[in-house]
């Protein structure tokens, strides 16, 4: 007769007590929660319990605002803008790092720049046509402490005058520019010349799918002597077979060549989507059988500071 008892190992796993996330020290919880995507914090995490709700009201929680969760795509862009502005307001001027993906506007950049003069890191990705060159440049002029700038797959990137960035962000150390797709029909060195002329303090530079030529690259090598890493993947107008290629290898410690493989995935432990899955596991421990995944902007309770029915004063 077959035994109906469960394997010993399975019984041991079931008998292992689940961690009580509500008993974590406040400082530790305050350190963990900001690692989530800000959209996830506002639509899920802070609703877990009054304890987490109060922690999420702490302005120190909002030194970093990352809104890049794929779940945001189910929301109307106007609600995403209001959620982002709400988070900026919660930072009370302490905001140092903001990452905006899938949405954005000139008004949002202005809102951030007017309220985050201490911003160190600005990342804008896949905002398509929602942000203009003029709006971006006006915002950057108000960010003198900026050290890291990332622009990826945004149409305004092709028209930006980078001398404006260099002039108004003298502390810039890292610049990452992803132009989406490479254009084999034309070359352009103007942005490379702007970088070389106004960003002598750069340590890290990525120019993915850029149309610069050897002239632009030479200007960068001359104008940015402190470069530690240079990523030229997808820059197929470059010819690094001669002396300029040799100089790149001698001058720059970490060099990515135009033909090097470009991995667009971001499956790291800090990926907001993966961290989001971890949060849902935590929530399921706290409230077994309750599914948080259905929560959207209509479920948000922002009544303490912001009502979705109100228009923000940009």
pLDDT tens-digit readout, 270-304? 444 444 444 444 444 443 443 434 444 444 444 45
Q: Count of domains in the chain?
A: 1
Q: What is the pLDDT of residue 224?
A: 98
The pLDDT value recorded for residue 264 is 56
Decide if 279 is inside a domain: no
Phi-psi region of 180 (alpha: psi -120 to 50; beta: other; left: phi over 0): left
Per the domain annotation, does 161 fall within a domain? yes
Whether 109 is in a domain gets the answer yes
Domain annotation covers residue 286: no
In a domain, 125, yes or no: yes
pLDDT of residue 21: 59
What pLDDT sits at residue 12? 52
Q: Tokens in use for 14?
A: 């079931």
Run means of pLDDT, 10 residues per run, the chain, 314 residues: 52 55 69 81 82 85 89 81 93 96 91 96 86 93 97 86 94 94 84 97 96 97 98 95 95 96 54 43 42 41 44 41
**pTM (two decimals):** 0.77
Residue 207 domain flag:
yes
How do residues 78-111 score in pLDDT, each as one tens digit?
Answer: 888 999 999 999 999 999 999 999 888 999 999 9
For position 118, what pLDDT does the model report?
95
Residues for the chain: how many in total? 314
Inside any domain, residue 115: yes
Question: Burial, 202: exposed, middle or buried (Cβ in 10 Å; 0-12, 13-18, 19+)?
Answer: buried
- List Cβ neighbours of 135 (8 Å cut-off, separation of 6 or more): 105, 106, 107, 109, 110, 156
What is the structure's pLDDT at 299? 42
The answer to whether residue 80 sits within a structural domain is yes
Q: Which domain holds residue 63?
A: 33-256
Please give the C-alpha separations between residue 301 and each of 90, 103, 104, 298, 309, in angstroms, as whole numbers: 14, 21, 22, 8, 12
Question: Residue 96 is part of a domain; what is its CATH number?
Answer: 3.80.10.10
Beta pairing class for 64-67 and 229-231? unpaired
pLDDT reported for residue 312: 41
């Amino acid at each position: 007769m077959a035994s109906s008892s469960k394997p010993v190992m399975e019984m041991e796993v079931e008998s292992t007590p689940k961690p009580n996330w509500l008993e974590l020290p406040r400082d530790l919880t305050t350190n963990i929660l900001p690692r989530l995507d800000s959209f996830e914090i506002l639509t899920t995490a802070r609703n877990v319990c009054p304890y987490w709700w109060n922690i999420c009201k702490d302005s120190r929680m909002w030194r970093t605002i990352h809104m890049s969760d794929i779940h945001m795509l189910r929301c109307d862009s106007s609600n995403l803008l209001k959620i982002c502005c709400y988070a900026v307001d919660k930072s009370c001027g302490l905001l140092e790092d903001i990452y905006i993906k899938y949405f954005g506007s000139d008004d949002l950049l202005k809102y951030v720049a007017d309220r985050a003069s201490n911003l160190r890191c600005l990342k804008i990705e896949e905002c398509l046509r929602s942000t203009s060159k003029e709006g971006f440049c006006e915002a950057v002029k108000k960010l003198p402490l900026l050290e890291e700038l990332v622009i990826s797959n945004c149409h305004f990137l092709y028209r930006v005058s980078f001398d404006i960035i260099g002039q108004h962000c003298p502390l810039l150390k890292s610049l990452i520019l992803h132009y989406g797709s490479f254009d084999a029909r034309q070359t352009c060195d103007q942005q490379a010349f702007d970088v070389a002329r106004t960003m002598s303090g750069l340590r890290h530079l990525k120019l993915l799918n850029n149309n610069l030529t050897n002239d632009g690259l030479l200007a960068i090598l001359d104008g940015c002597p402190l470069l530690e890493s240079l990523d030229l993947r997808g820059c197929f107008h470059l010819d690094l077979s001669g002396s300029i290629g040799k100089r790149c290898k001698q001058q720059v410690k970490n060099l990515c060549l135009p033909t090097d493989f470009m991995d667009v995935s971001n499956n790291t432990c800090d990926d907001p989507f993966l961290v989001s899955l971890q949060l849902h596991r935590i929530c399921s421990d706290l409230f077994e059988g309750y599914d948080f995944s259905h929560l959207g902007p209509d479920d948000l309770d922002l009544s303490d500071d912001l009502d979705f029915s109100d228009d923000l004063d940009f």
